[in-house]
Amino acid sequence: MSANNSEENLSGSQNRRITWDGCSVLLDINDGDRVLFARLTAGSKIKIGDKNCSLLPLIGCPFGSSFQVEVGAEGPFLAPLIPNAQGNGLSEKTDDQTMEECRDNRALVDNNTAQSLTGEDIDGMRRKGATGDEIVQALIANSATFEKKTAFSQEKYRIKKQKKYAPRVLLRRPFARSICEAYFKKHAEKIGFLRVDTLSLLPSLANVTAHSNVLVFDMLEGIVTGSVAERMGGTGYVCNPYCGTTPLPISIVRMFNFSDETCKRILSASLTELQPSDGENSTSGDQLVDECNIKEQQNKDTVSSSAKDLFNMEEISTTNMETDNNVAASPKCAKTVKAGEKAPSETIKHWKEHGFSSLIIAAPNLDAWDIAKDLVPLLSYSAPFVIYHQYLQPLATCMHNLQSNKMAINLQVSEPWLREYQVLPSRTHPHMQMSSSGGYLLSGTRISSSDQN
């Protein structure tokens, strides 16, 4: 196992390939049917179907390893799955058929009488210690219609039974990609319908890299903040601005397994703190505070509902929270540094002096121009910015206003389009269902509005 020297230099835990006690993981159940987040501790459990299994066997395992639910003497547990034993994707058998399929479904009648094993028979097998795979085999052997099905159909049947009687769990590393896909699939509204391709365009268009100072107005629970911080490797700063007195919630950031170094560089600051502090502007600052209190009220409403939703997403977090508090059990668990702390005044002074090197706005339910007119002036000249919105019109208006106020050039409104394909022998085609929209983006580069030579 190669441990690059660069891994030591890095803000460490991001690139670790083996799970550790207290780390955040993504659990993929039955090949994407269900995806949830978990924190691996000695006491955490997961419920699959009607079985409760401990997550302890997953600690110290490589990301990418698979487990299968088995039922043992002490109840259900997660057993490691050896990849070679069952081939890859169970489709090896179908690959062998180079001859044309001559079976079809003309004689098959779907009346639920094909299977001769009953639920009690299966329970009996389990009591005698049969593995999930053995039960699936038995179901196939006892199906009157199995042999008459086409090879593809047999495959589908096998997979369906396996998912029910021998469910599999895949251990995944949480990255911006996997976190976004998990949310987009089941709770897209919580991340403002931000699809993974749209999310990937944000750090690109905003030129996020090491040593950047990125201003990120993130109303998507922190998924944008997290994906930006992920690309900075514990250098530079991510600043979450807010109006009024309360920073926006960024709970998704916790799922990324960021090191302390990265966490302490994710800071929040109020708009009044960030704006120029000369006499002329302080009055407008106060007005802004009043206007923004309305926004803050909206935010508070969003905060309370989304905090609950996060628990639903995590599903087993309540158990985890209890064990997390037991510091003695595992010192690595205790997070000494929390992301999103208020920025110290020296850092704010540094930002005001130098300007931010890029800006990302992700507020799909607010007016885009209203935010841009306050935040774009905080950028350095030639700094790129990108604004995400779920509707087209606010971005068109914002673009027009930026242009007429000569605040930016290289302005572009675009919409990403993404399509996934099923690629199988003789069965290659795009997926039957696809996402119709991943939102819209307005990108541009800040310039000085005064004509100087």
The 10 Å Cβ neighbour count of residue 262 is 27
Select 326 or 412, whichever has its Cβ closest to other proteins.
Answer: 412
- In whole angstroms, the minimum distance from the beta carbon of 132 to other proteins comes to 19
- In whole angstroms, the minimum distance from the beta carbon of 409 to other proteins comes to 6
- The Cα 336–Cα 344 span in angstroms is 17
- The Cα 424–Cα 294 span in angstroms is 53
- The Cα 377–Cα 291 span in angstroms is 19
- The Cα 374–Cα 242 span in angstroms is 11
- In whole angstroms, the minimum distance from the beta carbon of 190 to other proteins comes to 19
Q: In terms of residues, how long is the chain?
A: 453
Select 334 or 434, whichever has its Cβ closest to other proteins.
Answer: 434
Sign of the Cα pseudo-torsion (158, 164, 165, 167, in order): positive
Select 52 or 235, whichever has its Cβ closest to other proteins.
Answer: 235
- In whole angstroms, the minimum distance from the beta carbon of 412 to other proteins comes to 6
Q: Output the six-digit token pair for 178.
A: 């996997």
- The Cα 217–Cα 225 span in angstroms is 8
Select 6 or 111, whichever has its Cβ closest to other proteins.
Answer: 6
Select 101 or 420, whichever has its Cβ closest to other proteins.
Answer: 420
Q: Do the beta carbons of residue 269 and residue 343 sit within 8 Å? A: yes
- In whole angstroms, the minimum distance from the beta carbon of 428 to other proteins comes to 6
Burial letters for 9-30: b for 16+ Cβ neighbours within 10 Å, e otherwise?
ebbbbbebeebebbbbbbbbbb
- The Cα 236–Cα 187 span in angstroms is 31
- In whole angstroms, the minimum distance from the beta carbon of 120 to other proteins comes to 36
Select 124 or 344, whichever has its Cβ closest to other proteins.
Answer: 344
- The Cα 55–Cα 43 span in angstroms is 8
- In whole angstroms, the minimum distance from the beta carbon of 80 to other proteins comes to 7
- The Cα 177–Cα 183 span in angstroms is 10
Select 7 or 370, whichever has its Cβ closest to other proteins.
Answer: 7
